[in-house]
Chains A and B, each alone.
Chain A
Amino acid sequence: MYSIDFNIIAEALPELARGIKLTIFISAVSSLAAFAIGLVTVFARTMATGPYGTAGAIYVEIIRNTPLLLQLYFVYKALPDLGVQFPPVVCGIVALSIYTGAYISEVLRAGINSVTNEQYQAARGLGLSNLQAFALVVFPQAIRVVIPPLSSQFINLVKNSSLVSFIAVSDVFYVVYKGAADDFRFFEFFITGALVYMLLTGFIAVVSNIIEKNVRVPGGEARI
């Protein structure tokens, strides 16, 4: 009979801690990079003229309509064929940033579309450049509206970061999977892994709630 024995987790604790640290590191770096990519893409799609908008749209559609696992494999296994080689952790960060960046740009675009056109026209009328109107007038209003969907993208990013274990990165999922398979202790390791991810994503949810409360436009609730 199978009996639950959590001592096995205590023994695996140092390795788990290393895995958690790596997951947090990959998620944090990818979050920043993905936000930057999303920002550039959304600027290209809503503000820039010329071919940039089309390029942004093609990027978003390709990335959103193919599985992340394939994109990870592509960066890790196919790019070396073309002479581009990164260490596994970098591959994971690159693929996760590009993937999440496409989703973040869509979230930001929804926010920007919720800011009325008059705001932009007034900004341009006051003599601001296209970039200034975006950065100083439209974007600050847009970002407040999209904090909840934005935070769910970061939550998805943390969960998706578990896939880097399939390109030889020993993140927390890798440690949990390996521990479970080696000792044949699936329940203990599953519960541990699930708790770790719930804590990480819960942390993001709490922080986003606090930010949302603090940056809310006073009196803005009634309009939305």
Chain B
Amino acid sequence: MHWEDIFNNFGFLMRGLAVTFQLAAVSVAGSLIIGTVLGIIRYLRIFPLSLVAAGYIESVRSIPLILFIVFIHFGFLPFILGSESSFFVSSGIALVVFTSAYVAEIVRGGLNSIEKGHLDAAISLGLTRFQRLAYVILPLALGRMMPALVSQFIALIKDTSLASTIGLIELTRSGEIIYERTYHELEVLLFIAFIYFVICFSLSKLGKKLETKPYMVSETKERLYA
């Protein structure tokens, strides 16, 4: 085994990890904002906009992410800007476009899951439409959306690895650069996979804690029948 490859290039790998984190953070923020807006538009059925949102969500969800990354970087952005954009910006935009469609569905599902009684109570208290959404329905829905949102963002962190295919030197690409030189693919890939695992696994454990108790799907029982 050649673990010295990892030690010798540890700083390089960590710089890649930092880029992965930055990309993930930017994409989480962007997709949360756009996804929430789209989800609310669909929930409120704001007439022409909700059709546009539905079309956007359904089509994005049936196209692979890699298609967005490659074509936003090599096709759309050069066409709009007239010059090639940075790898980071392209992959960030692609990840936001892709993930916001999923977030929108989670938000819509969460909003729809709120019992009608809450809405009736809010109406009878004289809250306006905006107040009902902002102070009653959305906070209630947030608790129920949490598990799905966390697992969507775990998927997003894993998806940042696709940015390596257009050349962004994030964690996966920095590993590739190392093993393309040393030919010790096994060690480098195992180490990178381990880093992704630690991040995603701890996030999923954290997500379990964030679930609000009364609304969560009961902890699936292991060996229910054993």
Contacts and interface: CB of A to CB of B under 8 A. Distances in A.
A173 B67 contact: yes
B189 to A, nearest CB: 5
Contacts of A47: 223, 225-226
Nearest to A77: B185
Interface string A140-175: 000000000000000100011011001000000100
Interface in A12-51: 45-49
Nearest to B188: A78
B66 interface: yes
Contact of A198 (B59, B161, B197, B224): B59
A112 B222 CA distance: 11
Contacts of B62: 155, 159, 197-198, 201-202
B178 interface: no
Nearest to B204: A65
A112 B224 contact: yes
Contacts of B224: 46, 112-113, 117, 120
Interface residues of B, number: 42
Contacts of B67: 162, 173, 176, 190, 193-194, 197
A66 B66 contact: no
B185 A78 contact: yes
A81 B5 CA distance: 15
Contacts of A134: 225
Contacts of A65: 154, 158, 196-197, 200-201, 204
Nearest to A2: B79
Interface of A: 2, 45-49, 53, 57, 61-62, 64-71, 73-74, 77-78, 81-82, 109-110, 112-113, 117, 120, 133-134, 138, 155, 159-160, 162-163, 166, 173, 176-177, 180-181, 186-187, 189-190, 193-194, 197-198, 201-202
Interface of B: 59, 62-67, 70-71, 74-76, 79, 154, 158-159, 161-162, 164-165, 172, 176, 179, 184-186, 189-190, 192-193, 196-197, 200-201, 204, 220-226
